[in-house]
Structures are given as C-alpha cells and as structure tokens.
Amino acid sequence: MSDYDPIVTALRAEINALDRQLLAAINRRIEVVRRLHEHKGATGMPLRDLDREVAMLRALEADNAGPLSPEGVAGFFTDVIELTRQELYGV
C-alpha cells in the first residue's frame, strides 16, 4: 500500500540516493587508506595510529550538528575504521 504513496516513494528515492553516496564515500575512503598504508609501509611508519583515530573521532563528534548523537558518531566511524581494516587486511 505504501508503495503507491507519492511521499513514501519520494522519500525512499532520496534515501536510496543517500545510500549510494555513502557507498561511494566508503569505497573512496578505503582507496585513500590503501594509498596511505602503502606510503607508510614504504617509509617504515606504523600503519595504525590509535591517537589519530581517537582525535579523528573527537573532531567528528565536535563537528556533528545532529540529529546523530555523539555516541552514534563514534559508533559509526569506529565501524567504518573496522570495515576499512577488514577490507584491506581481512582482519
């Protein structure tokens, strides 16, 4: 029934477009991290910087205008970091 509601249809289309933007952004992020890790590996730098991860999460929480909660920001980006690690290293 809701498939015939024009408002539902329009909002679902908007959600679909946003999901595709998120997907593209995550894929770009993985590629940039891959390049960063290649450089770090070539120069002998450690691949993971926990202080940087914490600082990044704090900065994103501070930049967030909502309605996503600070906990939501931290959870989402922690998951993004873990997903990136899994995609690059299968860990």
Please report the pLDDT score of residue 1 as a whole number: 61
Burial class (CB in 10 A: 0-12, 13-18, 19+), 80: middle
Please report the pLDDT score of residue 91 as a whole number: 76
Residue 3 has pLDDT above 90, yes or no: no
Phi-psi map region of 69: left, alpha, beta (phi>0 left; psi -120 to 50 alpha): beta
Please report the pLDDT score of residue 25 as a whole number: 98
Residue 44 has pLDDT above 70, yes or no: yes
Tell me the whole-structure pTM to 2 decimals.
0.89
